[in-house]
Structures are given as C-alpha cells and as structure tokens.
Amino acid sequence: MVFNEKIWEEIHSTRGWSRYPNEELVRFIGSNFFKLPREERKKIKILELGIGQGANVWFLMREGFDIYGIDISKSAVKKTFERLKEEDLFIKSLESHFKVADIMNIPFENEMFDIVIDIATTWNVTYTDHNKVYKEINRVLKKKGLFFSWHILKGSYGDDGINYIDKDTKENVEEGPLSNTGINYFAQYKDLINLLEINGLRIKGKETLERTYENMQKSLKFAIIIGKK
C-alpha cells in the first residue's frame, strides 16, 4: 500500500483533518452503549481503522471506552497524540494502543475487540482488497463483536463511471471532496453486503445518507452498516 501511504502522509503532514466525530458513529455508540456506566465502558475494547487526526478517538476516549487505533500515516498517529495531549486525555501507556499500520494487516491479536469502526477508511482500498480487510476485521473481532462502517457509494461526486483500476474503484479522483485522496472504492450496496457476509459478518443494520454539494448539483452517498460476527 505504498501509494496510499505516500498520499495520506502528504495530507496529514501538511494539513489538518476532522476535529469532531462522525455523527452517525455518535448515534451508534449513543444508542447502544451510553446506558452503560463508565466502569462498564472501560471494559469495551474498540479499534478504529484509519484514525486520521483523532476526531473519533477523542470522542470515544472522552466517553470512557478502551480505544485502540491504526493509521497508515505516521503523521496521523502523531497528530492524534498531540490532540489527546492538548485535552489532557493522553497517558503514556496509550502508546501501545496506536500503531502505524495497514488495514490489510491489522497488528492486533485474534478476537481482541468488541467493536471495530471504519469511518471513511476501508473505502481507500480496492474492491478486491476489501476481502482481505474484512477477513482481518473478522479475525480481530470477538464472537458477537460489532463492526460499524461508514462507506462511500457508487455514483458519488468524483465517480465518473470510467477509468476504473478495479471493480468500481478509482485512483485520485479529480474533483469534489474526495479529490486526490488516493484509491476510492465507490461500492454498490449489494457488493458491500456480499463482501461482509462472505467474510463472516452478519448484517444487523443498513442505512444510507446523502449529502449534497454545489447547490444540490452533486452529492456524496454513504452506506451505514452494522455487522455482527
């Protein structure tokens, strides 16, 4: 994944990224886990794939969960630590929770996590590589563990329907919010479901959301999927 690594390191070393968590993630965590007292939340291990500059990590840590994360960019991990330090959430022992790594080789043990979250990260690998990533997610999830995914869909801004490098996969789209972010797999909903199911994740929830741009001329469409091992 040298290509993705180079592009994302360039992005994270030269500019800021989201500071606040994905709203659908907040909804998912809120409706399923906010009823738990903080003592119980500490026992829930959550892995974020592609932490960016720590927006979701910051939220999950403030809410008292046991958070782990990986990102292919070393500047992303560094900036996540800086954010946690700024807000007095960083402790030295956290260093072993966050690693610079590729989602196709998750550097954590089998059946370690209660929840794995993917906010706009797995869509940065091709359709074909989704099989490897979903296999890895299954491997690190505990039995009955949950997978929360926010994934871009076919027909979104930047998906012009030509020059695919793999099924529905483009490289460096030229316009829109996803431009110059390396590989983008614009998934068909049925393919995403199929990829999850063949890798041992049962579908517990599936929704969509659409956000328009340029006075409603263009849009990004998202799948919000909850899978269960």
Q: Between 154 and 190, whose beta carbon lies closer to ligand SAM? A: 154
Q: Between 63 and 71, whose beta carbon lies closer to ligand SAM? A: 71
Q: Does 22 bind ligand SAM (CB under 6 A)?
A: yes
Q: Between 36 and 131, whose beta carbon lies closer to ligand SAM? A: 131
Q: Between 10 and 191, whose beta carbon lies closer to ligand SAM? A: 10
Q: Between 52 and 145, whose beta carbon lies closer to ligand SAM? A: 52
Q: Quick one: tokens of 217?
A: 């001329």
> Residues 104 to 163: which contact ligand SAM by CB under 6 A?
119-121, 124-125
Q: Among 10, 18, 139, 172, which residue interacts with ligand SAM (rule: CB under 6 A)?
A: 18
> Residues 87 to 106: which contact ligand SAM by CB under 6 A?
102-103
Phi, psi of 4 (to 5 degrees): -60, -40
Q: Between 5 and 160, whose beta carbon lies closer to ligand SAM? A: 5
Is the separation of the CB atoms in 48 and 57 below 8 Å? yes
CA distance 4 to 7: 5
Is the separation of the CB atoms in 148 and 116 below 8 Å? yes
DSSP 165-202: SBTTEEES-SSSTTTTSSEEE-B-HHHHHHHHHHTT-E
CA distances from 221 to 38, 114, 166, 201 (A): 35, 28, 20, 22
Instruction: Tell me which residue of 103, 95, 58, 61 sits closest to 78, measured CA to CA.
Output: 95
Q: Among 76, 84, 115, 196, which residue interacts with ligand SAM (rule: CB under 6 A)?
A: 76
Size of the site for ligand SAM (CB under 6 A): 23
Q: Least distance to ligand SAM from the beta carbon of 177, Å?
A: 10
CA distance 19 to 138: 28
Q: Least distance to ligand SAM from the beta carbon of 136, Å?
A: 10
CA distance 108 to 136: 10
Residues that bind ligand SAM (CB under 6 A): 1, 4, 8, 17-18, 22, 50-52, 55-56, 70-73, 76, 102-103, 119-121, 124-125
